[in-house]
Amino acid sequence: MRVEKKNILHNILRPLLNLWGRIQGISGCLICGDTWNWKKPHNVLFKRNVSAFPTCEECWQTAPKHLIETATHELGRKWILQSPSEHLKETLKDVRLLKNACEKELSVSRGKTNE
């Protein structure tokens, strides 16, 4: 009974928390869409002292591997589209580093056969 109440409360508050985050210009998980004002991101270190978070911790742990790879690709695409032309070469390098770091972390945490 207690779990059901928690789920009902979560389902009511979730859209409100996401709306509040979007109003403030806060982005969120590229899988579930929940915003970073209330959802814990999963940080992927791809350069020394530089990380990115294409998904929330919950989606990183539970989503199929191909969805995480798609979210990582989408984040890289956004970086490229927002990059000034004079920084495009460095942005492309960062996108490649992020993709490789995500693949490595996924293979370590889930094993190569997990889909």
Query: Residue ranges of the domains in the chain?
Result: 2-110
Model confidence pLDDT, tens digit, residues 27-68: 999 999 999 999 999 999 999 999 999 999 999 999 999 999
Burial of residue 113 (CB within 10 Å: 0-12, 13-18, 19+) is exposed
Average pLDDT, the chain: 90
* Residue 11 reports pLDDT greater than 90: no
Residue 112 has a pLDDT of 56
pTM above 0.85, yes or no: no
Please give the structure tokens belonging to residue 73.
Answer: 């690709």
Can you tell me the mean pLDDT for 11-33? 94
Q: What is the model's pLDDT at position 5?
A: 63
* Cβ neighbours for 64, distance < 8 A, ≥ 6 positions apart: 115
User: What pLDDT is recorded for position 110?
Assistant: 75
DSSP conformation letters of 38-102: TS-EEEEEEETTEEEEEEEHHHHHHS-HHHHHHHHHHHHHHHHHHS-GGGHHHHHHHHHHHHHHH
- What is the phi/psi pair of residue 29, to 5°? -60, 135
Task: Taking residues 75-79, report their average pLDDT.
Answer: 96
